[in-house]
Amino acid sequence: MTSRQAAGTPRQGGAAAVPPRRRGSRRWKAADTDRLLPAWLSRTALVVIALVVLVPVGYMVLLSVTPNAQVALGDVSLSGFRNYVAMWSAAPLAAGLVHTLIIAGVAAAISVLLGLLAAYPLTRMRFAGRRAFLYSLLGSQTVPQPTLLLPLFATFSFIQTTIGTHLIGSYPPIIFTYMTFGLPLSAWLLVAYLRTIPRELEEAGLVDGCSRARALRRIVLPIALPAVVVAFVFAFLVGWNDLLFASVLTNNSTQTLAVVMQGFDNTQANATLPLYGDLMAAAVVSALPVVVLYLVFQRYLIRGLSAGSMTGM
């Protein structure tokens, strides 16, 4: 019997060898999903989740096109987009939007840059204290953020008094504060992703004469782009959604969009009517940049969040 015949025919008296079903095939995934959760239950769960998310958002959109007087009475009516025009004069929304984009964007960019520079040696080098540093990044996320408000404010006040320069109310303190929360998360996400990148790619570049910095910039960074996008989005949301630190560390010249929207509670039309309709319109406008950010980088977000989930320490 030739080797080809031996490979192509099963042994006598035994069952024919069935090729194993590939784990990544669409058929395997569908069967595995049906085995874990019935189809009717998965559809019901999706409907419930959609209702929980979309009903408040839809109600907010309806109130944004309802006059302030009717909103105060609890009524809803479609009366055009007058609230979207009036909200810009009721509060300095444009300035708050610009300040938020600058503060959150700069803090997120620096957090991702420093996180990448920290994640690369943590995944490519062995040194004392490496594991302890990794756990410290994870442990820093468990500290409640409001507990850091007083220490940060006292630190900035001491520096301001020592150097004799106006510091609180400017951009650097609030940017540094958001970096305090965004940097550990960015570093941890990038560490998990860089573990999935084979070291042979960098070693080939080093053999060809690349330095470590050039290998990081030319080889690792393009591959790790999904994780970089995920880290940037999460770090950006830290500054975009914050109200507590921004209300303390900013002033009228640097206040963010969240602080400006808080001012709608004290703004009234004719000194008697709360501007709830304008507030809902401002809430819709403030949510649009984040929605657009997710839609633009949706592909990178899915890849960045799924990669590295099975890697170990």
The CATH number of residue 240's host domain is: 1.10.3720.10
**What domain range is 205 assigned to?**
88-306
Domain tally, the chain? 1
Is 50 inside a domain boundary?
Answer: no
pLDDT of residue 12: 46
> Bridge-partner residues for 269, per DSSP?
273
Instruction: State pLDDT tens for residues 270-304.
Output: 556 778 888 888 889 988 888 888 888 877 777 66
The amino acid occupying position 247 is S
Is 54 inside a domain boundary?
Answer: no
Is 230 inside a domain boundary?
Answer: yes
Is 266 inside a domain boundary?
Answer: yes
pLDDT of residue 42: 85
Instruction: State pLDDT tens for residues 192-229.
Output: 888 888 888 888 888 877 788 888 888 888 888 888 98
pLDDT of residue 256: 92
Is 101 inside a domain boundary?
Answer: yes
Does the pTM surpass 0.95? The reply is: no
pLDDT of residue 1: 47
Is 44 inside a domain boundary?
Answer: no
Is 103 inside a domain boundary?
Answer: yes
Is 176 inside a domain boundary?
Answer: yes
pLDDT of residue 89: 83
Residue segments in the chain with a per-residue pLDDT below the cut of 50: 1-18, 21, 23-34, 309-313
pLDDT of residue 312: 45
